[in-house]
Chain A
Amino acid sequence: MDKNIIMNAADIRRTLARISHEIIERNKSTQHLILVGMHTRGVPLANRLSGNIEGFEGISVPVGALDISLYRDDLSSLELQPIVKSTDIPVNIDNKAVVLVDDVLYTGRSTRAAMDALIDLGRPHSIQLAVLVDRGHRELPIRPDYVGKNMPSSRHEEIQVRLKESDGIDEVAIISIPTKEEQS
Chain B
Amino acid sequence: MPERVRVKAMMPPGHVRTPAYLRGKTGVIERALGPFPNPEQLAYGLPAPEQPLYRVRFTMSEVWGDAAERPSDTLDAEIYAHWLERL
A and B from one complex: no
